[in-house]
Chains A and B, each alone.
Chain A
Amino acid sequence: SQTIHQWPATLVQPVGSPLSLECTVEGTSNPNLYWYRQAAGRGLQLLFYSVGIGQISSEVPQNLSASRPQDRQFILSSKKLLLSDSGFYLCAWRFKGGGYEQYFGPGTRLTVT
């Protein structure tokens, strides 16, 4: 069966510090991968998605970047965090093709102070 891991679970970082959140998927190959951010009490905003190694599509211009160095690894980064980067970050994967659900990781709660 497939599993998705995210770490860390919580993170408190000062403004201006770098960020690296990691997401890995087990039990499948060549998945589509997604990064979302969720503000408190709000819906999910798609940040990045990837259909393959090194292929990253950005949905919203911002202070963040993403990379996919391996088939089942997706990394969210920032060189300098802003207060507005605080939120709940979720990674998800799905099989390629239409009509499939997404499977979400447990999320990372990021607080920028």
Chain B
Amino acid sequence: SQQGEEDPQALSIQEGENATMNCSYKTSINNLQWYRQNSGRGLVHLILIRSNEREKHSGRLRVTLDTSKKSSSLLITASRAADTASYFCATERITGGGNKLTFGTGTQLKVEL
């Protein structure tokens, strides 16, 4: 079953606006990762935040993590049409072999000109 649930499922904004996506999960984690998927393509890793971190930045991306609420958010600032894609959160749990990731259901972001 999917541990992560993204919210909203779909988001449509204008170029230049900020986009915020949220992710909730259920169990204790080692880290939480965000990935991007363009239509019909493989996933690309965006950013990883460890369980002892609260906020992380990478370019126009800002990720927060609240382990007490078991939630994370991804903020994309000054969005561009090229940011149009699906965004997934993925959690790596503390126990279990193979360093598996559990992916959420994704947020479809559309950035319009």
Establish whether residues B105 and A42, one from each chain, have CB atoms under 8 Å apart when the complex forms: yes
Question: How many cross-chain pairs have Cβ atoms below 8 Å apart between A and B?
Answer: 67
Q: What is the CA–CA distance of A52 and B7 in the complex, to the nearest angstrom?
A: 36
Establish whether residues A51 and B88, one from each chain, have CB atoms under 8 Å apart when the complex forms: no
Q: What is the CA–CA distance of A103 and B50 in the complex, to the nearest angstrom?
A: 18
Establish whether residues B104 and A106, one from each chain, have CB atoms under 8 Å apart when the complex forms: no
Q: What is the CA–CA distance of A42 and B40 in the complex, to the nearest angstrom?
A: 12
B47 to chain A, nearest CB (A): 9
Establish whether residues A99 and B50, one from each chain, have CB atoms under 8 Å apart when the complex forms: yes
Establish whether residues A107 and B42, one from each chain, have CB atoms under 8 Å apart when the complex forms: yes
On chain A, the residues within 8 Å of B31 by CB distance are: 98-99
Q: Is B100 an interface residue (CB 8 A)?
A: yes
Task: Provide 12 A-B residue pairs closer than 8 Å at the C-beta atoms, listed in order of the A residue.
Answer: A34-B100, A42-B105, A49-B98, A49-B100, A51-B97, A92-B43, A96-B99, A99-B50, A100-B99, A101-B48, A107-B40, A109-B40
Interface residues of A (CB under 8 A from B): 32, 34, 36, 41-44, 46, 49-51, 57, 59, 88, 90, 92, 94, 96-107, 109
**Known contacts A41-B108, A109-B40; can you find 15 more A-B pairs with CB under 8 A?**
A32-B98, A34-B100, A36-B103, A43-B88, A46-B102, A49-B100, A57-B97, A90-B43, A98-B92, A99-B50, A101-B48, A103-B45, A104-B35, A106-B41, A107-B40
